[in-house]
Amino acid sequence: MDFVERIDLLLKEKNLKRSALCEAVEIDSTSISVWKKRGTIPSGDVCVKIAKYLNVDVEYLITGCQKKEPEKAQAKTDNSFILQTLSTLQNDIDKSFKTVIDALKK
């Protein structure tokens, strides 16, 4: 599947028209047909605008490959570590307060 086919597929999935895309990203209404005919893609800034309009990653739009999501997996790992650390700190604080309270009672 090429660049224009991915655009057309996304437009169809989102029930949008090419003309609406062209208007939104400020390109000529014949641009997409020209890219298809020539087998080209537009400049980077236009690709970014199209990707934003279609709510997809630019890499997917250009290559058809989805970005792997190690950042999200890493974020989950980082969040788990942070939560575990906070829990440990809270337990240490609770023990310290208990020790202080017990010492004050004596």
Quick: pLDDT tens for 23-54.
999 999 899 999 999 999 999 999 999 999 99
The Cα 12–Cα 39 span in angstroms is 21
C-alpha span between 106 and 101 (Å, rounded): 9
Q: 59-86, pLDDT tens digit by residue?
A: 998 898 876 555 555 555 567 778 787 7
Nearest to 22 by CA among 39, 38, 35: 35
Q: Could you tell me the two tokens for 53? A: 């309009």
The CA distance from 57 to 13, in Å, is 16
pLDDT for residue 71: 54
